[in-house]
C-alpha cells in the first residue's frame, strides 16, 4: 500500500478497489473496535476549521485503537510565527506515525511529506484536492450500483473553489464513470476542458439521464467577488429543488459533501428525499478512513486481526 495519500491520483483503479473492498468490511462492522493500530499515533493536523473530516478521522483511528492527537493552528505556536515545517517536525518528534493534514494552501501536504518520515494523508488542501472525500463518495455510489462503468455523474455548482470536485472527477474517471461538470460560467475553473469531463452550464437537460447528481457547496468564504448576481438567482437556475429532483430517474442518487447551504444549492426538503444519501456519505466516511488507515499503517501483521476479505 502507498505510504502517503496526497492526491486521488496516488491510487490506480486496483488501489481504489482495494480501499473500497476494505471499507465494506468496516462498514459492516461499524462501531466495533479493532486492535490493529494499538501503539500507533495519528495526529489531525488541521490549519482549517472542520467538523466532518476531523471527527471522522478521529473516530476511524480510535476504532483501530490508535492514539489520536488533535492539532489546530489557532491557539498554537503558529500564532507566534512558527513555520509549517517546524510545527510538523515538532509534532512528529513526539512519536507520530501518521499526519492527517488540512491546510488552506494547495500543496501543503506534499511539502509535509518531504519534511517528515511519518505517513501523510491529505485531508483537503486549498482548492486542490480532497482524496478521502472522493474515496467515501466512490464507496457510497458503489453501495447502490454494481459497477462504475458507464455511470453518469454530474458534479454541479462551485467547481472553481472545490477540492472535492477535482478529486471526485479524477476518481470517478479512474473507475470508468462518465462525468459531467455543470456550473455557471463564472464558477468553472480555468483549464476545466483539460479535466477530461463533459462541461455544460445547463442543468435541466442533464437530469433525466443521471445516475448521480452531486451538488457542491457554494463556498462563499472563498468568493472574493460576486460570481453570481445573487444566491436567489443561483438557486433558481442551478439549485436542485423539488421540480428538478422530479426530473431525475428513480435510480439516481443525490449527493453533497456538506455542509449544505439549504435553499441555495439544494432545497431543504430535497436533502431529506429517500434518494438523498448525504447522511450516508458521512457514515461511510468513517469506514473508508478506517480502511485507509488500516491499509497504510497496519502492516503485514494486521492481516491476522481482520478477516481475509480485507
The catalytic residues are 52-53, 80, 102, 130
Which ranges constitute the DSSP H helices of the chain?
A: 13-28, 52-63, 84-92, 108-115, 131-142, 163-174, 231-238, 242-245, 278-297
Report d(CA 197, CA 304) in Å as an integer: 42
Report d(CA 263, CA 258) in Å as an integer: 13
Q: Which of 282, 286, 285, 280 is nearest to 31 (CA)?
A: 286
Q: What CA–CA distances, in Å, run from 245 to 133, 214, 251, 261?
A: 24, 12, 12, 17
What is the SS3 assignment for 164-213? HHHHHHHHHHHCCCEEEEECCHHHCCCCHHHHCCEEECCCCCCHHHCCEE
Q: Please, is 281 exposed, middle or buried when counting C-beta atoms within 10 Å of its C-beta (0-12, 13-18, 19+)?
A: buried
Amino acid at each position: 500500500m502507498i505510504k502517503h495519500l496526497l492526491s486521488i491520483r496516488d491510487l490506480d483503479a486496483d488501489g481504489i478497489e482495494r480501499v473500497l473492498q476494505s471499507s465494506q468490511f468496516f462498514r459492516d462492522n461499524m462501531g466495533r473496535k479493532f486492535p490493529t493500530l494499538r501503539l500507533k499515533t495519528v495526529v489531525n493536523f488541521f490549519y482549517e476549521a472542520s467538523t466532518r473530516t476531523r471527527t471522522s478521522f478521529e473516530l476511524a483511528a480510535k476504532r483501530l485503537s490508535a492514539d489520536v492527537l488533535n492539532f489546530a493552528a489557532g491557539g498554537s505556536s503558529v500564532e507566534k510565527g512558527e513555520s509549517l515545517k517546524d510545527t510538523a517536525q515538532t509534532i512528529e518528534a513526539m512519536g507520530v506515525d501518521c499526519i492527517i493534514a488540512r491546510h488552506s494552501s494547495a500543496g501543503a501536504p506534499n511539502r509535509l511529506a518531504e519534511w517528515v518520515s511519518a505517513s501523510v494523508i491529505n485531508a483537503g488542501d486549498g482548492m486542490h484536492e480532497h482524496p478521502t472525500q472522493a474515496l467515501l463518495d466512490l464507496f457510497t455510489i458503489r453501495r447502490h450500483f454494481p459497477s462504475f462503468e458507464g455511470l453518469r455523474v454530474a458534479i454541479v455548482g462551485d467547481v472553481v473553489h472545490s477540492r472535492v470536485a477535482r478529486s471526485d472527477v479524477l476518481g470517478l474517471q479512474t473507475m470508468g464513470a462518465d462525468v459531467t461538470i455543470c456550473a455557471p460560467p463564472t464558477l468553472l475553473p480555468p483549464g476545466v476542458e483539460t479535466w477530461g469531463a463533459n462541461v455544460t452550464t445547463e442543468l435541466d437537460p442533464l437530469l433525466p439521464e443521471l445516475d448521480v447528481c452531486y451538488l457542491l457547496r457554494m463556498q462563499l468564504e472563498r468568493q472574493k467577488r460576486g460570481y453570481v448576481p445573487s444566491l436567489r438567482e443561483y438557486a433558481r437556475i442551478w439549485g436542485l429543488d423539488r421540480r428538478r429532483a422530479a426530473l431525475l430517474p428513480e435510480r439516481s442518487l443525490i449527493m453533497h459533501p456538506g455542509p449544505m447551504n439549504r435553499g441555495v444549492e439544494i432545497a431543504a426538503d430535497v436533502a431529506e428525499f429517500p434518494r438523498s444519501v448525504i447522511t450516508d456519505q458521512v457514515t461511510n466516511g468513517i469506514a473508508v478512513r478506517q480502511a485507509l488507515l488500516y491499509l497504510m499503517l497496519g502492516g503485514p501483521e494486521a492481516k491476522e486481526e481482520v478477516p481475509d476479505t480485507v
